[in-house]
Amino acid sequence: MAVQPAKRAFVKPCPYDLCDGSGMVVDWDANETYRCRCWPEQVQRRRARRLSNVVPKKFQNLGFDREPLPSIERSAPVQVRAVRQFCERIDEMLDRGRGMWFLGSPGTGKSHLAYLISQHAMTAGRSVAIYTGPRLLDEIRRTYGDDESGSTLDLIDRLTSVELLHIEDLAVARPTDWVLEQLYNIINGRYENEKSIVFTCDLTGDEDEPGMIHPEHLAKHITMRNFSRLMEMCGDPLPLYGEDHRRNF
C-alpha cells in the first residue's frame, strides 16, 4: 500500500512520522485521505494559537550560561539544577502532566526560571499559554460580555487543554468567590486531563509571620482544593530566597 502524507505548505514534523504535520495522510492506492494519529494534537495546537504565548522581551533568549542565570544559580543551585533537569526532559515531563512552581520574595529569579521552562517547551514544539494572574482573569471577564454563546466555556476549555500553562504571580489577584471559581475550573480541568502548569508566587507571609515563606499561605489564598491539586501536579515548591537581583541588573 502506497501511503504518502497530504501536501501542505507549512510542514511541522509528525511525532509518529506518519504525516507531514498536517494531521492528514493520503493513501494513494485506495484514493482516500484519513486522519493521522497526531490529529488530536494538531487540533489542540491550532486552538492554543488563540491563547497568549508571548514571552516578554525581558525574558527572551534566556540561557543557563547567560546572566542573570549564573547569578541566580550561585544563590539557588538546587533550584536551578531542578529546572535544568526538567528542561532536559521537557517532552517527558509535559507528557506526564508534571509541572513546577516557584515561591519566594520579589526579584529572586522566579520568573526567569519559569520562562526557561516555557522557552524549552516552545522549542520542543509544544503548545504554551503564558499569562499573569490578573490578565488571565481579565481575559475570562471579557468573555462574559461576548455575544457569542459559550465563549467563556470555550476559553476555559482552551486553557485546560494547552500543553503547558504558565501563570506569573498566581497569588496577586484578590481571591473573591468569582476568582476562586475560575481558578478551580482551570486548575481542576488541567488536573483531570494531566496537563502541566508552571507558576510563580510571591505570597510570603501573613500578619502573624510577615516575610516568612510557607507553601500553606497559598492554600489559604486560593483554597485547599486548588492548592491540593497543584501540589500533586507540581510537587513541592522551589523556594527562592535572598537579595533582589533586579537591583543588580
Over residues 14-40, the pLDDT tens digits come to: 877 888 877 888 777 777 888 888 777
CA–CA separation, 249 vs 232, rounded Å?
A: 35
Of 124, 115, 116, 131, residue with least CA distance to 186: 131
Q: How confident is the model at residue 138 (pLDDT cuts 50, 70, 90)?
A: confident
* Residue 176: predicted pLDDT: 84
151-161 and 177-192 helices, crossing angle to 10° = 50
What average pLDDT does this structure show over 166-182? Answer: 84
* Average of per-residue pLDDT values in the chain: 83
Dihedral angle over CA of 25, 31, 34, 38, nearest 10: -10
Q: Do 199 and 131 touch, CB atoms closer than 8 A?
A: no
Residues 6+ apart with CB under 8 A from 113: 72, 79, 80, 83, 100, 102, 238, 240
User: Where do the domains of the chain lie, and which CATH numbers do they carry?
Assistant: 3-42 (no CATH), 49-247 (3.40.50.300)
Q: How confident is the model at residue 53 (pLDDT cuts 50, 70, 90)?
A: confident
Q: Is the pLDDT of residue 10 over 50?
A: no
Q: Is the pLDDT of residue 146 over 60?
A: no
* Residue 4: predicted pLDDT: 44
Q: Is the pLDDT of residue 155 over 90?
A: no
Over residues 201-243, the pLDDT tens digits come to: 986 555 455 445 567 778 888 899 999 999 999 999 999 877 7
* Residue 216: predicted pLDDT: 76
What average pLDDT does this structure show over 111-127? Answer: 94
